[in-house]
Amino acid sequence: MSDFVHLHLHDQYSILDGYGKASQYCELANKLGYKAMALTNHGNVDGVIKWQQSCKAAGIKSIVGIEAYMVPDLRIKKEKEKRYHVVLLAKNNAGFNSLLRMLTVANLDGFYYRPRIDPALLLEHCGDLVVGGACLESYINMEGGIDLLKQLGKKTDVYLEVMPHAMREQAKFNQHVMKVASDLKVPVVATNDCHYPEKHHAKLQEVLLAMQSKKKWKDKGFAAGANRDVIAKGAEMLGVPLDDLMAEVIAGMREQAAALGLDGSLAGQGG
């Protein structure tokens, strides 16, 4: 279990989406023997200080990032737009400053329901970041997404993600990811897209999703969070559904984690 590194995880600062405090995640991760863990909240770094403090207290390496919303052009704002996702992890303090610069632009210039970045902004500031493929809503699915992946790969470290969630769409996407990765020689990591720490938190997270979508459980079309797994589902998840490839995936995950991390200077700030 200790070889597994969560590189895609949301806590309470993924507003109306993530459940659980940094301290809860870190206490559980310590019991499970994890050595490092990343925080990737949606469109903000508001929880970074608490995350670093909690990781330090638990003896876990803190990796800081975001899951950003991406559109083709942040200047264009239209109803029912399609927003794509990209995971951005800071390699160092310069990378964290790059996250802050992009989030500033995303909020001041690109905000439309959500803070949004675009490929041009990411390419300008990606040098000290590791760029992850994210979930089913990955940026590689947007028009020009594969070309963007190629461009990013020339400027910084990139990887794609496979997830074990029991959905037909996810299994199909995992296969697509593996083909793209093989064709372009891009590393793959296994992630769990954690949105709550333990199984009994699932219903609590569904309450947040219901509030976000302004729906009730009985409403038609309400998608509950049944497929959003927990932090404990780490190494044991890796037999699903690509067990013949997972040794390579785990190795890539450890390599990514080893290259990441701020110097901890933020952890002494805030409360």
Closest CA to 195 of 216, 171, 212, 181: 212
CATH classification of the domain holding 222: 3.20.20.140
Measured CA to CA, the distance from residue 254 to residue 244 in angstroms comes to 18
Beta bridge mates, 112: 114
Measured CA to CA, the distance from residue 178 to residue 35 in angstroms comes to 26
Strands 188-190, 157-162: pairing is parallel
Measured CA to CA, the distance from residue 162 to residue 185 in angstroms comes to 15
In tens digits, what is the pLDDT along the chain, a chain of 271 residues?
456 788 899 999 988 778 889 999 999 888 888 888 899 999 999 999 999 999 999 998 899 999 999 999 999 999 999 999 999 999 889 999 999 999 999 999 999 999 999 999 999 999 999 999 999 999 999 999 999 999 999 999 999 998 877 778 888 999 999 999 999 999 888 888 888 877 777 777 777 777 676 677 666 555 555 455 555 555 444 433 333 444 455 555 556 666 566 655 554 444 3
**The two structure tokens encoding residue 171:** 């299994």
Residue 16 domain-assigned? no
| Residue partners of 59: CB distance under 8 A and separation at least 6 | 30
Residue 155 domain-assigned? yes
Measured CA to CA, the distance from residue 241 to residue 166 in angstroms comes to 9
Contact 129, 57 (CB under 8 A): no
φ/ψ of 48, rounded to 5, equals -65, -45
Residue 17 domain-assigned? no
Give the SS3 label for residue 220. Answer: coil
Measured CA to CA, the distance from residue 221 to residue 15 in angstroms comes to 21
Residue 67 domain-assigned? yes
Query: What is the radius of gyration, based on Cα positions, of the chain?
Result: 17
**The two structure tokens encoding residue 111:** 């905000």
Contact 196, 202 (CB under 8 A): yes
Residue 10 domain-assigned? no
Strands 84-90, 129-132: pairing is antiparallel
User: How many structural domains does the chain have?
Assistant: 1
pLDDT at 236 (0 to 100): 47
Residue 213 domain-assigned? yes
Task: Report H helices in 33-167.
Answer: 48-58, 93-108, 119-125, 145-155
pLDDT at 268 (0 to 100): 45
Residue 43 domain-assigned? yes
Q: In this structure, how many other beta carbons lie within 10 angstroms of the beta carbon of residue 45?
A: 20
Range of the domain at 253: 22-268
Residue 48 corresponds to which amino acid?
Answer: V
Residue 175 corresponds to which amino acid?
Answer: Q
**255 Cα distance to chain centroid:** 17
